Chains A and B, each alone.
Chain A
Amino acid sequence: MDRIVLCLMVIFSGTVAHKSSLQRPDRFLIRMRQLIDIVDQLNNYVNDLGPEFLPAPEDVKRHCERSAFSCFQKVQLKSANAGDNEKKINVLTKQLMRKLPPTNAGRRQKQRLTCPSCDSYEKKPPKEFLERLKSLIQKMIHQHLS
């Protein structure tokens, strides 16, 4: 009788654990979707951003996507005009700078060959900076879902 009860408990625990793993939210995907929204919102204020050229990675090599994303994060997007838009831009920029949740692919990237430095990437005006950032995020989402 004791053995039967023990077996049933083991089976029940296994079922619950399996079910909970399925229901665990994909934090990485949620974060990436938020980033897409942040970039779209920043596009609304692109005319308020400074005119200086910013490093904007494009055609990033495989497994260097996180490194390239960090180059985008290092850029301090600032508003050229003071006002309400400046506050909104600052809020969005801070959200952009939050660290990405880890993924299995992300852990593998640390062990790969070194990726190009941020200064090696081409510099572009803010509008193209945001377009290239969005393309990189989309690439990372596609890789995550594949």
Chain B
Amino acid sequence: MLKPPLPLGSLLFLQLPLLGVGLTPAVLTPSGNEDITADFFLTSTPPGNLTVSTPPLPEVQCFVFNIEYMNCTWNSSSQPQPTNLTLFYWYKNSDYDKVQECGHYLFSSDITSGCWLQKEEIHLYETFVVRLQDPWQPSRQATKKLKLQDLVIPRAPENLTLRNLSESQLELSWSNRDLDHCLEYLVQYQSDRDHSWTEQLVDHRPSFTLPSVDGQKCYTFRVRSRYNPLCGSSQLWSKWSRPIKWGNHTSNETLLLFALKAVFIPLGSMGLVISLICVYCWLERTMPRIPTLKNLEDLVTEYHGNFSAWSGVSKGLAESLQSDYSERFCHVSEIPPKGGAPGEGPEGSPSSQRSPYWAPPCYTLKPET
């Protein structure tokens, strides 16, 4: 049984448009324009193969730290597939124009994400060319030209010192270990009563004068530096220096002392007063007031013998002092003298002396002999 012939003609016909799909290679000519970045290159593909678009390479950023070392980094996590990209560098039109691979890679999650270059490999005023490349696809590369003098980040200023030039004039000075003549500075200061910093740009001289200071305030100063404009055009500031304070002792209170004086003492005093008032009210309620004794004449003339009204004892207290029990009257009589029948008295026999109601036994008074 014969096999049907393969449609070769149709296959060839289909491949014709595919040959035109592959883009011509983009040739990078060093035109001298700075910061040229080519994201990716596509090369022409052999017939019969489909073109595969390659993802763009991440952008490389380089910073020179105090002209001591340089870091060139890229975002390795932006890659669709984790790839250990390689970095090459050289200096254009220079004695150091030999292409070199990075000798000290930086890693992020075990993937290359940067390159560390030491001081001897940094040449500021020569065009630095850096190329990031995919080692598995050499055609996938990106090249960038940089002016390293515009990428310097200096160290923060140190040794801030203050001195009085006069009674109200203050001078702040500091030092930079290196690059001092090439730096400009930004000074910020604020008093303890200000809500924001006041700033002043200072040229390469490492000093700043505040013409008038208030002796009652506490001032804080800090400084940062930048490699601009004398020796470079960097827009990157250093970190702030350690702040330095100036002011008298009374205004130099710590936050704790201030909280103690401004908050705790008034609150404590108010609490003490309120508690004393509460104790007084409680005592007034539970313990009776000692009555005030007025003029005795008033007892007779004004109050007509009403002792409680005169003494000022409250009605409730007077009622409370009244007895709430009753006693039987105790009839006391004298024992009749001797001579009479025993038991007889001037008023008859004892049996006849029995009163209508029986009086409880009580004490009797003996007659006098």
Do chains A and B interact in one complex?
A: yes
With A58-B93, A59-B94, A124-B32 in contact, do A33 and B230 touch (Cβ < 8 Å)? yes
Which of B105-113, B123-131, B249-257, B322-330 lies at the interface? B123-131
Interface bracket on A: 10 to 19
Residues of B within 8 A of A36 (CB): 229-230
Residue A122, interface by CB 8 Å: yes
Classify the secondary structure of A's interface with B: helix
Output the least CB separation between A42 and chain B (Å). Answer: 14
Residues 3-30 of chain B: 1 if any A CB is under 8 Å from the residue's CB, otherwise 0? 0000000000000000000000000000
In Å, the complex CA distance between A128 and B182 comes to 23
Residues of B within 8 A of A40 (CB): 229
In Å, the complex CA distance between A141 and B93 comes to 21
Residue B181, interface by CB 8 Å: yes
In Å, the complex CA distance between A139 and B33 comes to 19
Output the least CB separation between B202 and chain A (Å). Answer: 15
B231 touches A141 (CB 8 A): yes
Chain B: residues with Cβ within 8 Å of the partner, total of 20
Residue A135, interface by CB 8 Å: yes
Output the least CB separation between A125 and chain B (Å). Answer: 10
Partner of A59, one of B93, B182, B230, B233: B93
A122 touches B32 (CB 8 A): yes
List residues of A (116-146) whose CB comes within 8 Å of B's CBs: 122, 124, 128, 131, 134-135, 138-139, 141-142, 145
Classify the secondary structure of B's interface with A: loop
Residue B226, interface by CB 8 Å: no
In Å, the complex CA distance between A131 and B229 comes to 13
A59 touches B124 (CB 8 A): no
In Å, the complex CA distance between A36 and B231 comes to 10
In Å, the complex CA distance between A96 and B69 comes to 35
Residues of B within 8 A of A124 (CB): 32
In Å, the complex CA distance between A58 and B147 comes to 11
Closest to B127 in A: A59
Residue B143, interface by CB 8 Å: no
Residue B232, interface by CB 8 Å: yes
Output the least CB separation between A49 and chain B (Å). Answer: 18
Residues of A within 8 A of B94 (CB): 59
A142 touches B32 (CB 8 A): no
Counting chain B CB atoms within 10 Å of each CB, which of A33, A138, A142 scores highest?
Answer: A138
A134 touches B233 (CB 8 A): yes
In Å, the complex CA distance between A142 and B150 comes to 13
Residues of A within 8 A of B233 (CB): 134, 138
In Å, the complex CA distance between A142 and B181 comes to 9
In Å, the complex CA distance between A121 and B279 comes to 98
Residues of A within 8 A of B147 (CB): 135
In Å, the complex CA distance between A119 and B92 comes to 19
Output the least CB separation between A41 and chain B (Å). Answer: 13
Output the least CB separation between B184 and chain A (Å). Answer: 11
Residues of A within 8 A of B32 (CB): 58, 122, 124, 128
Output the least CB separation between A119 and chain B (Å). Answer: 16
A58 touches B127 (CB 8 A): yes
Output the least CB separation between A55 and chain B (Å). Answer: 12
Residue B191, interface by CB 8 Å: no
With A59-B92, A59-B93, A135-B149 in contact, do A142 and B127 touch (Cβ < 8 Å)? no
B149 touches A145 (CB 8 A): no
Closest to A143 in B: B125
In Å, the complex CA distance between A32 and B94 comes to 25
In Å, the complex CA distance between A134 and B91 comes to 19
In Å, the complex CA distance between A69 and B232 comes to 17
Output the least CB separation between A5 and chain B (Å). Answer: 38
List residues of B (175-211) whose CB comes within 8 Å of A's CBs: 181-182
Residues 80-123 of chain B: 1 if any A CB is under 8 Å from the residue's CB, otherwise 0? 00000000000111100000000000000000000000000000
Residues of A participating in the B interface, judged by any CB pair closer than 8 Å: 32-33, 36, 40, 58-59, 122, 124, 128, 131, 134-135, 138-139, 141-142, 145
**Can you give 23 A-B contacts (C-beta < 8 A)?**
A33-B230, A36-B229, A36-B230, A58-B93, A59-B91, A59-B94, A128-B32, A128-B33, A131-B34, A134-B233, A135-B147, A138-B149, A138-B230, A138-B231, A138-B232, A139-B149, A141-B230, A142-B124, A142-B182, A142-B230, A142-B232, A145-B181, A145-B231
Starting from the known contacts A59-B93, A59-B94, A142-B149, 4 additional A-B residue pairs (CB-CB under 8 Å) come to A33-B230, A36-B230, A138-B230, A142-B231
